[in-house]
Structure 1
Amino acid sequence: MRFPENFIWGTATASHQVEGNNVNNDWWAREHAPDTICAEVSGDACDSYHRYGDDIAIVADLGLSAYRFSLEWSRIEPAEGEFSRAARDHYRRMVDACLAAGISPVVTINHFSIPRWLDVQGGWRSPVAVDRFARFTEFIRPVVERDVEYVSTLNEPNMSACMANIGKGDTLLTAGLPEPDPQIADALTMAHHRAVEIVRSWAGPKVGWTVATQVFEPEPGAEEVAAAYAYDRETRFLQEAKNDDWLGVQAYTRTRIGAAGPIPVAEGVETTLTGWEYYPDAVGFALRTAAELAPGVPLIVTENGIATADDTRREAYVDSALRAVHAAIEDGIDVRGYFYWSLLDNFEWVGGYRPTFGLVAVDRETFTRVVKPSARWLGSVARANELSG
């Protein structure tokens, strides 16, 4: 099963999940709140703010061709209107380190976390949020204007809208997604379109955004319920990409939908450390749905992976997922690349450090990186640009 020439093979991280000590953003505040829903605090995370060179070297050594990472807004603009050129330069050094290692940097402008100063103003509900994000996008121009082929404006805006209503009972999102906040969804959509205009004006990177997708699988007779459930949580965000340069698809699992809404995972079904159903075919469904809702827009699987302590299940999951990706390509869908989530066992938001998605284990005391066998296997697939069998 050979993949197209120049197919992008990559892996990904996000700033708050790996850098450590992002003390000035909303997630740090949320983790330390007395009524927090987070399983634990992020703390030092993987210390990737200082060890990014080690991480990039691992990506290159594995034989992968790209590394997706994000910018931490709260470091670059720690106070409203007060920008740090030093912090901006840090992320440009990350771009240069990728280039020096022979891998392509893929940059996400914002991956969930926002500065505290914006959070206390209402976050994405603030009337100034869209303008502030546009101003931030303009400031990070030197990071991505040259040498970065793919830029994502926002990571999973649909999940950001849902997270606004996340509660204790939704800690691992095992009982369906919370009701998305329509005001936040609208603001993120406007922010995306503003940022697309700005990035396009630089006449360099291809710009889009990444959307979290699931297979919302209806029980017989529940087709309309499933479509309505999916619309605010996924469909509208895929449709908003129809004029973008590319669209990132992020897929992990499925949710079955009955007449009354989401149905819990059936007893006896294999689940991952997040409580999600083991369902590697999700990425194939996601690509087909995205191709239908944003016709003609090139697609990249910007996240796909599994949280497991059994590395053999990781390899099996990714093997099946890549076969689904290949089948979509064979059917004429324009898929440009595949990024495994994640490079490292990192901080997984409300789930803390228990869900281990990484190709690389990280010692929580010494920060020593240990490459897992599944990472070597994926690297061999990438080098060959094909799956055997």
Structure 2
Amino acid sequence: MTTTFPDGFLWGAATAAHQVEGGNVNNHYWEWEHAPHTPFREPSGDAVDHYHRWREDLDLLAGAGCNAYRFSLEWSRIEPEEGEVSRAALDHYRRVVDGCRERGLAPVVTLVHFTTPRWFHRDGSWLGPKAGDRFARFAELALPVVQDAEYVLTLNEPNLAACLPVLAEMAARGEPVNGLPRPDQELSEAFLAAHRRGLDVLRGGSPPVGLALVGQEWIAEDGAVEQMAAHRAAMEDQFLEAAADGDFVGMQVYSCARIGAGGPVAPAPELTTLAHIEDRPQALGESVRRVREVLPEMPILITENGIATADDAQRIAFTDAALRGLAAAVEDGADVRGYLHWSLLDNFEWFGGYAPTFGLIGVDRTTFTRTAKPSLEWLGGVARRNGL
């Protein structure tokens, strides 16, 4: 069955600075990766050296037929010490924006994708009394970089970031994660306050501004409807309410959340991916439908969707099924503006290290040789047809 998407639809892939650049020694994640009893499987190190090889990577993406690229700024490169600004780092990211445009790729820029400078983290991080002012100042620094972007995102997945204290403790103890716990409410409110400060700076002087959120298909197990609704309200609804203040919402959907009477329920082992989550491509369309219910008029950009697998045929099958569900949601009225696959490259996947492979492009981490996978050509074909 032929499926088409709206005119002007964006097709591409996404990365995050710390996961691909390498050598981000001034942020708090680098320090955390090297701490005793770290929850990280391995340190990020050189990552995949995207900081120096971004031109080659964008050539591969554009050459396949895609028309959009999402990346993030590394705050600790731009402001390594408070008030000390690196013009060279700002110029670097400005060149990436220009490089996207030169290749016909619409740049989608995220200001903060989890990592923050060490000085920010050590002085209270997002719970510190100066956090909002500091983030607003960083947004001002970023204005010359993002002014020619297609879309700008203030924060990446604050609803997941607010779960990290619990997830880190579980990972350090070697405990399996059956699903995302409820986010810490104090952290949630701090992230959303910072997002609003960023909106105040960026709105009016830049492209459309939004917030990137983890989205899921919500499933009540064994009749636990009330428990599911309470979990969803904490994990999703309060963040969607805040996203309503922006120009669009970025949704990052990988799987479902099964909630039982006692909280998150683990998927069957045979259904899990290398990222230890359920292989459930239909979650994308179901999540988008829920966003439309909560925010009927809000434009939606799919800023991440993908699967951690070593089997590229499985990646293509997953993405095909996910996009068919997305197309059905669009047909039913959801205002979806684009789809950015996670990820462009096999890269550093936080606690999981380099084992979970999401990329459309494989990378030899000794030589940094790039090898495009069949899934990149497949997604490029979808982009050229603007449909399946």
TM range (shorter): over 0.9
Q: Which residue of 2 aligns with 1:337?
A: 338
Q: Which residue of 1 aligns with 2:60?
A: 58
The alpha carbon displacement at 1:178 in A equals: 3.2
CA distance in 1, matches of 2:275, 2:175: 6
The code of the aligned residue for 2:313 comes to: T
1:282 lines up with 2:283 in the alignment? yes
CA distance in 1, matches of 2:356, 2:146: 31
1:128-181 per-position Cα deviation (integer Å, ceiling 9, x unaligned): 111100000001111011x21200000101111111322353479731213422
The alpha carbon displacement at 1:216 in A equals: 2.5
CA distance in 2, matches of 1:232, 1:116: 29
1:191 lines up with 2:209 in the alignment? no
1:246 lines up with 2:254 in the alignment? no
Aligned mate of 1:93, from 87, 92, 95: 95
The code of the aligned residue for 2:196 comes to: H
Q: Which residue of 1 aligns with 2:318?
A: 317
Q: Which residue of 1 aligns with 2:271?
A: 270
The code of the aligned residue for 1:360 comes to: I
Contact in 1 for aligned 2:65/2:384 (Cα 8 Å) = yes
Contact in 1 for aligned 2:114/2:156 (Cα 8 Å) = yes
1:182-213 per-position Cα deviation (integer Å, ceiling 9, x unaligned): 222111101111111211131x3000011001
1:348-385 per-position Cα deviation (integer Å, ceiling 9, x unaligned): 00010000000000001010100000111111111011
The alpha carbon displacement at 1:24 in A equals: 0.5
Q: Which residue of 1 aligns with 2:231?
A: 229
SS in 2 for 1:187: helix
The code of the aligned residue for 1:48 comes to: H
The alpha carbon displacement at 1:235 in A equals: 1.7
Q: Which residue of 2 aligns with 1:360?
A: 361
1:208 lines up with 2:221 in the alignment? no
The alpha carbon displacement at 1:295 in A equals: 2.3
SS in 2 for 1:87: helix
Q: Which residue of 2 aligns with 1:4?
A: 6
Contact in 2 for aligned 1:241/1:294 (Cα 8 Å) = no
Contact in 1 for aligned 2:360/2:373 (Cα 8 Å) = yes
For residues 8-19 of structure 1, the aligned pairs below 5 Å read 8-19=10-21
Q: Per the alignment, do residues 172 and 17 of structure 1 end up closer, same or farther by CA in structure 2, a change over 3 Å counting?
A: farther
1:296 lines up with 2:297 in the alignment? yes
Q: Which residue of 2 aligns with 1:129?
A: 131
Q: Per the alignment, do residues 81 and 337 of structure 1 end up closer, same or farther by CA in structure 2, a change over 3 Å counting?
A: same
CA distance in 1, matches of 2:249, 2:221: 29
The alpha carbon displacement at 1:122 in A equals: 1.8
Q: Which residue of 1 aligns with 2:114?
A: 112
TM-score, structure 2 as length reference: 0.97
Q: Which residue of 1 aligns with 2:180?
A: 177
CA distance in 1, matches of 2:195, 2:88: 25
CA distance in 2, matches of 1:255, 1:198: 34
1:295-325 per-position Cα deviation (integer Å, ceiling 9, x unaligned): 2110011100000000000000000000011
Fraction of identical pairs, as percent: 54
Contact in 2 for aligned 1:215/1:286 (Cα 8 Å) = yes
CA distance in 1, matches of 2:155, 2:64: 27
TM-score, structure 1 as length reference: 0.96
The alpha carbon displacement at 1:243 in A equals: 2.6
The alpha carbon displacement at 1:126 in A equals: 0.8
The code of the aligned residue for 1:344 comes to: L
1:67 lines up with 2:93 in the alignment? no
The code of the aligned residue for 1:372 comes to: K
Contact in 1 for aligned 2:181/2:264 (Cα 8 Å) = no
Q: Per the alignment, do residues 349 and 105 of structure 1 end up closer, same or farther by CA in structure 2, a change over 3 Å counting?
A: same
CA distance in 2, matches of 1:286, 1:336: 15
Contact in 2 for aligned 1:222/1:259 (Cα 8 Å) = yes
